[in-house]
Amino acid sequence: MSETNPATAEVAAPHRYTAAVAAEIEARWQDFWDADGTYAAPNPKGDLADDPGLVAKPKKYIMDMFPYPSGAGLHVGHPLGYIATDVFARFQRMTGHNVLHTLGFDAFGLPAEQHAVQTGEHPRVTTEAAINNMKSQLRRLGLGHDKRRSFATIDPDYYKWTQWIFVQIFNSWYDDEAKQARPISELVARFESGERAVPGGRSWDALSAAERADVLGEYRLAYASDAPVNWCPGLGTVLANEEVTADGRSERGNFPVFKAKLRQWNMRITAYADRLLDDLNELDWPEAIKLQQRNWIGRSEGARVDFPIDGEAITVFTTRQDTLFGATYMVLAPEHPLVEKFTPAAWPEGTHDVWTGGHATPAEAVAAYRAQAASKSDVERQAEAKDKTGVFTGAFATNPVNGEQIPVFIADYVLMGYGTGAIMAVPAHDARDFAFARAFELPIRCVVEPSDDRGTDASTWDDAFVSYDAKIVNSHGEDVSLDGLGVTEAKARITEWLQDKGIGEGTVNFRLRDWLFSRQRYWGEPFPIVYDEDGIAHSLPESMLPLELPEVEDYSPRTFDPDDADTSPETPLSRNQDWVDVTLDLGDGRGPRPYRRETNTMPNWAGSCWYELRYLDPHNSEKLVDPEIEQYWMGPRAGQPHGGVDLYVGGAEHAVLHLLYARFWSKVLYDLGHISSPEPFHKLYNQGMIQAFVYRDSRGFPVPAAEIEERDGAFFHNGEQVKRELGKMGKSLKNAVTPEAICEEYGADTLRLYEMAMGPLDVSRPWDTRAVVGQYRLLQRLWRNVVDEATGEVTVVDAEPDETTLRALHKAIDGVRQDLEGLRFNTAIAKVTELNNHLTKAGAAVPRPVAESLVLLIAPLAPHIAEELWRKLGHTDSVVHQDFPVADPRYVVDETVTCVVQVKGKVKARLEVSPAISDDELEKVALADEKVVAALDGADIRKVIVRAPKLVNIVPA
C-alpha cells in the first residue's frame, strides 16, 4: 500500500514516479520541444522549407476539428480527439512520415458576441483571452503540434483569404455542360458574342448595367436574393436550414424560427448536389455520416407533369408518375403564385361544403388559409401526424392521362420550396394524400395492386397502400396503358409518353437548398462587397483585403417585425456611417466613386470551410496556399483519388453543416484551379463522447458531482440522497472535471493514457476519476522497470533477453503497431501493460533492448515519461523521431501448434510443430512418427495430403 501513500513513498523511494516527478518531467520536456521545434513539419518550399530530409519522406496530414474558444475552457471530455490524433501523429512520425499536425481556433461565433451585447466588451478581447487560456490548457497535455502553423479565424491575415475566397465564388458561375465552376467573365463573354442567348431574349449590349447585374445574379455562385428565410428574432439573425432543428427552432439557443422575406446572400451549393453525392463514394468516412449527407442532399428521381388549366398548366413534381391514373385532385402550396390566377370569383355550382371552409368566396377562403399557413414552420407543416388542413381554390385542372377534371386545393402540407410547389395527389398510395382525401371526402382510386388482402376497392381501406414493388392496375387511357407493368417499367413507359406529348419529362429533384450565407451580426467576417449608386454589388479587389471589422459602440442587432415585409433588421455594422459610406477606386476603370458597404457578416461556418488549406502555408501573403505545397500535403494519390487530409477526427454533429460546406468550397476552389484536391478530408473518424455522471437533488437540480458521498450503492449530497444519471459533462450540470485537476494529481501522461484506455475511440464512455489511478500505476511500474526508486540509477542490464521475454516483447510490438495504425488505442495500451507486467513479474533487471523497445512502444501514448526514460537510457536525441520497433516474426508466432495426423481418415497421432513449418517438412516429420509407422505397418503409401501446420492425411495403397 505504500505506493498510494506519498509520505512513506518518498522516504522509502525518493526516486519513485510521482505526480511531482511527472509535473517536473512534463514541464521540462514541453519547454524543450517548443524550443527545439521538435514537431515542426517542413514544407517542400516557402518559409517553412527547413528540412529537406523530412520532406522526402511520405507525408501524413492529421487534423482535428478545431475548437471554438469558449470562455469556460476545456473539461476532460474535450481533448479526447486531440489526444487520439496526437498519439496517431506520433506513431506516424516514428514510422517514417513527415507529419503535419497542428491546431487553430474557430473563433467567430455567437457566445463572445452575446457577451459583448451584454457587457459592451469587444468580442475580440474575450475571444483572445479564451484562446490563450485554451492554449495553456492544451500545452499541458503535451500535444505535438507544429505551432508555427496555428491561427484563429478572427486573425485579419486569415480572414483576408476567407474574404478572397468569397470574391472568387461571387465571380464564378456553374457551367452545367462542363460540370464545373468557371469565372463569370467567361459567361459575360459568351453573352457578348451571342454564343449563349441572354435570358429574356435581348442582346447583352441592349441591357443596362443593372439589368446585366440581375442576369448575372441568376448565375453567380454567391448571390443576393429576396427569399423566405429562417428568421430568428431570439438571436436577431437569419439562419441556414442546417441550423434549424427538426422542431423548427434554432440549433443554438433553442429559439423559435419564423419564415420572413429578406434580401440575403446565398451560396449556390445546389449546383454541386450531384458531385457532392458522387464523390462521397471515394471517401473513407463512417457510413452513417455519408448516409446523413446523402439524405440531406436528397436526390429524387421523378418527373415533371403539366396539368392543363385555362389554356395554361400547373406543373407538378412527382416521384410516382406511374400512379398518374390515381391522381384525383391537386394541391398547390398556399404561397404558390398561380393560386390567384386560377381562383374564380365564385364557388362553382355544387361545391362541397367541407371544401370551402365556410367562406363565401374562393378569394376569401384562400386569403384566410394563407394567413394561417404563414404562422407555421415548414417542419410543423410537414408533420406526419398532423390533421390535414386546406381549402378548395374553386378551380379544376385536367389530368392529362385520362382527361378527368380534378379539383385544385391549397394545403400547407405542400411546401413552396420543394419541387414545383405543386403536387398531383394520389390518395390511394400516399399517406398524406390519403388523410387529406378522407378529411375532404375526395375520391380514392387504387392503381397499384395491393399485396395484402385489402382488395382494390380503395373506398374501404383504412390507410394508403405504399409499395415500389407491385403491379399497376386501373391505368389505361386512350393511347396509353400501364396495366400489368411493375412500378419501374410503368415509370419509364409513362415518362416516355409524357415526353412525346410534350407535357412532361423525367427530372431529378434535390432536397438540398442553397446555403443562406449572411447573418445580421457583428462578430463575423465582413463581406468584401460594396454597392454602387445603382445598387449593383461589386467585389473588392484583392488589394483592399482584408476588409477589417470596424469598431462599434453597440454590438446588438435590432430585430424587426417578422410579419411586416417592409422592415429589415438593423445590423450592428450598418450604424457606422463612416465605415459604410466610402469612396473607392475599385480598379475597374471607373475611377473613384461613392459606394455603400454590405453590412451583414458571414456565418460562423465560413472560417472552417477552408482552414485545412491554410495550415499548409499559414504565412503566405500572396496566395491562400502555394499550389506546390497544397499538392504535397493534400493532392490526389493512389487510394485517395480526390486528395484530402489523411485523417480528420471530430464529432458526428457536423455531418451536414461544416462537412458539407467545406466540401463545397473545396470543389469551387478546385474548379477554379486554386487547389489540386476536390475533397478536403479523405478519411473521417468520429470520436465518441466522454460522458459523466450527473447527480440531481429531489427538485431535479444538479448538485456538484465532486461533493457526492457514496454509501452502499446510494449517493448523498450534504446528507440528502440524490439520484445519479449519465449525461454530458459541463459546468451547467456541475460535473465538469478539468484536465488541470487530473494533471496535478497524476500528470498529463496518466490523463492521456486514461482517456485512450477508456474504450474504443468511437464509443461514448463515462468518465470515472477513481479509475484514473490504474494508468498512473502502469507508469509507476514502467518507471520502476528502468529506474531504481531508491537511488535513481538506471537498472537495465546489457544482457540478452530470454526466450519468453523475447516472445512477450515481439508479440507486444506486433500488436501495438497494428492497434495504433487502426486507432485502437485501448487495446494497444492493454498490450503495453501486459509486456510491462511480464517484466515486473520476472523480477530481474530488464535487458536493455527490451527496456528500450518498451519505452518506444509507449512513446506515442505517454510522450513525456518516454522522452525522460529514453534520455536516461543514454540517448541524446529525442524519442519523438526514433523508429518504432518492428517485430521479429520468429517470436510473434505461437511457439507450436498441434498437427493432427490421420491414417485412412483416423487420427493416429498429434504432433507439436512450428506454425511456420513447410508442407514438405511436416510430411517428413509425420511419416517418421512412431505411432504413424505402427499404424501403417509397412503398407505402401498411395497419397499424402498435407495442410501445414495443422493436418496430415495419409492414404495407404
Shortest approach of ligand ANZ to residue 488 CB, angstroms? 14
Tally Cβ neighbours within 10 Å of residue 340: 12
- Count residues binding ligand ANZ (CB under 6 A): 18
Q: Which stretch binds ligand ANZ (CB under 6 A): 171-179, 425-433, 760-768, 945-953?
A: 425-433
**Closest-CA residue to 365 (of 409, 400, 331):** 409
Q: Which is nearer to ligand ANZ, 84 or 331 (CB)?
A: 331
Contact indicator for 667, 678 with CB cutoff of 8 Å: yes
Nearer Cβ to ligand ANZ, position 510 or 825?
510
Which of 129, 363, 368, 415 binds ligand ANZ (CB under 6 A)? It is 415
Cβ 277 to ligand ANZ, closest distance in Å? 14
Half-sphere exposure of 572 (CA within 13 A, CB side): 26
Residues 437-496 that bind ligand ANZ (CB under 6 A): none
Closer residue to ligand ANZ (CB): 305 or 529: 305
Region 327-356 residues binding ligand ANZ, contact defined as CB under 6 A: 333
Among 126, 318, 520, 608, indicate the residue that binds ligand ANZ (CB under 6 A).
Answer: 318
SS (H, E, C) 833-900: HHHHHHHHHHCCCCEHHHHHHHHHHHCCCCHHHHHHHHHHCCCCCCHHHCCCCCCCHHHHCCCCEEEE
Using rule CB under 6 A, residue 300 touches ligand ANZ: yes
Q: Which is nearer to ligand ANZ, 333 or 512 (CB)?
A: 333
Q: Which three cell numbers stand for residue 670?
A: 478546385
Asked if residue 343 lies in contact with residue 395, where contact means CB atoms within 8 angstroms, the answer is yes
Q: Which range binds ligand ANZ by CB under 6 A, 169-177, 220-228, 280-288, 417-425?
A: 417-425
Using CB under 6 A as the binding rule, whether residue 126 contacts ligand ANZ is answered as no
Kindly indicate which of the ranges 419-427, 623-631, 655-663, 666-674 contains the residues binding ligand ANZ, using the contact rule CB under 6 A.
Answer: 419-427
- Contact segment (CB under 6 A) with ligand ANZ among 54-62, 418-426, 739-747, 930-938 equals 418-426
Q: How far apart are CA 476 and CA 820, in angstroms?
A: 64
**What is the closest distance, in whole angstroms, from the C-beta atom of residue 355 to ligand ANZ in the complex?**
20
Going through 476-554 in order, the beta strands assigned E by DSSP cover 504-510, 515-516, 529-531, 537-539
DSSP string for residues in 573-632: GGG-HHHHEEEE--SSSS-SEEEEE---B--TTGGGGSHHHHTTSTT-SSSSS-HHHHHH
Between 164 and 418, name the residue whose CB sits nearer to ligand ANZ. 418
Q: Pairing between strand 690-696 and 702-703?
A: antiparallel
Smallest gap, in angstroms, from Cβ of residue 313 to ligand ANZ?
Answer: 16
CB atoms within 10 A of CB 96: 13
Query: Shortest approach of ligand ANZ to residue 318 CB, angstroms?
Result: 3
Distance from C-alpha of 174 to C-alpha of 55, rounded to nearest angstrom: 37
Nearer to ligand ANZ, 388 or 696 (CB): 388
Given candidates 317, 522, 695, 776, which one binds ligand ANZ under the rule CB under 6 A? 317
Binding of residue 388 to ligand ANZ (CB under 6 A): no
Single residue of 111, 400, 419, 528 touching ligand ANZ by CB under 6 A:
419
319 binds ligand ANZ (CB under 6 A): yes
Taking CB under 6 A as the criterion, the residue among 39, 418, 579, 891 binding ligand ANZ is: 418
Of the candidate spans 152-160, 319-327, 880-888, 895-903, the one that interacts with ligand ANZ by CB under 6 A turns out to be: 319-327
Which residue in the set 21, 74, 276, 426 belongs to the binding site for ligand ANZ (CB under 6 A)? 426
Q: Does residue 571 sit in helix, strand or coil?
A: coil
- Closest approach of Cβ 428 to ligand ANZ, in Å? 7
Give the number of other CB atoms < 10 A from CB of residue 478: 8
Q: What whole-number distance in Å separates Cα of residue 317 and Cα of residue 342?
A: 19
The minimum distance between CB 484 and ligand ANZ, in angstroms, equals 18
Q: Which stretch binds ligand ANZ (CB under 6 A): 21-29, 339-347, 416-424, 837-845?
A: 416-424
3-state percent helix, strand, coil for the chain, nearest multiple of 5: 40, 20, 40
Q: CB nearer to ligand ANZ: give 172 or 509.
A: 509
User: What is the side-by-side strand order in the sheet with 581-584?
Assistant: 537-539, 529-531, 593-597, 581-584
DSSP string, 345-405: SSPPTT--HHHHTT-SSHHHHHHHHHHHHHTS-HHHHH-TTSPP--EEEEEEEE-TTT--E
> Cβ 381 to ligand ANZ, closest distance in Å?
9
Instruction: Give the nearer residue to ligand ANZ in terms of CB position, either 325 or 523.
Output: 325
Q: Which stretch in 24-32, 317-325, 696-704, 858-866 sits in contact with ligand ANZ by CB under 6 A? A: 317-325
Among 429, 817, 824, 864, binds ligand ANZ (CB under 6 A): 429
Q: How far is the CB of 414 from ligand ANZ (least distance, A)?
A: 4
First to last CA, the chain: 70
Residue 421 CB, nearest approach to ligand ANZ (Å) = 5
The secondary structure of residue 27, as a DSSP letter, is H
Distance in Å, CB of 375 to ligand ANZ, minimum? 18
Output 138 or 333, the one with its CB closest to ligand ANZ: 333
| Eight-class DSSP state of 419 | T
| Least distance from ligand ANZ to the Cβ atom of residue 565, Å | 22
Angle, helices 748-757 vs 80-94, to 10°: value is 100
Reference 222, options 678, 608, 603, 614; nearest CA is 603
Among the residue ranges 36-44, 315-323, 660-668, 813-821, the one whose residues contact ligand ANZ (CB under 6 A): 315-323
Structural contact between residues 42 and 55, judged by C-beta atoms closer than 8 angstroms? yes
Site residues for ligand ANZ, 19-78, by CB under 6 A, read: none
> Shortest distance, CB of residue 426 to ligand ANZ, whole angstroms?
4
If you compute the radius of gyration of the chain from its CA atoms, what whole number of angstroms results? Answer: 35
CA angle 116, 119, 122 (to 5 degrees): 40
Minimum separation from the CB atom of position 453 to ligand ANZ (A):
20
Of 212 and 299, nearer to ligand ANZ (C-beta) is 299
Q: How far apart are CA 302 and CA 423, in angstroms?
A: 12
Q: How far is the CB of 397 from ligand ANZ (least distance, A)?
A: 14
Name the residue nearer to ligand ANZ (CB basis): 424 or 796.
424
The span from the CA of 331 to the CA of 580, in Å, is 46
Task: Read off the DSSP letter of residue 452.
Answer: S
CB of 323 to ligand ANZ, least distance (A): 5
β-pairing, 329-332 vs 312-318, is: unpaired
Tell whether the torsion through CA atoms of 33, 38, 40 and 45 is positive or negative. Answer: positive
Among 67, 421, 526, 739, binds ligand ANZ (CB under 6 A): 421
* Secondary structure string (H, E, C) spanning 126-191: HHHHHHHHHHHHHHCCCCCCCHHHCCECCCHHHHHHHHHHHHHHHCEEEECCCCEEEEHHHHHHHH
Q: Which stretch binds ligand ANZ (CB under 6 A): 118-126, 395-403, 412-420, 735-743?
A: 412-420
H-run or E-run covering 809: helix 803-821
Q: Does 600 bind ligand ANZ (CB under 6 A)?
A: no
Contact between 424 and ligand ANZ per CB under 6 A:
yes
Q: Cα separation of 819 and 837, whole Å?
A: 19
Instruction: Give the one residue of 106, 430, 630, 867 binding ligand ANZ; rule: CB under 6 A.
Output: 430
Stretch that binds ligand ANZ, among 337-345, 395-403, 413-421, 585-593 (CB under 6 A): 413-421
Among residue numbers 498 through 557, which ones bind ligand ANZ (CB under 6 A)? 509
For ligand ANZ, the binding residues (CB under 6 A) are 300, 317-320, 323, 333, 414-415, 418-419, 421, 423-424, 426, 429-430, 509
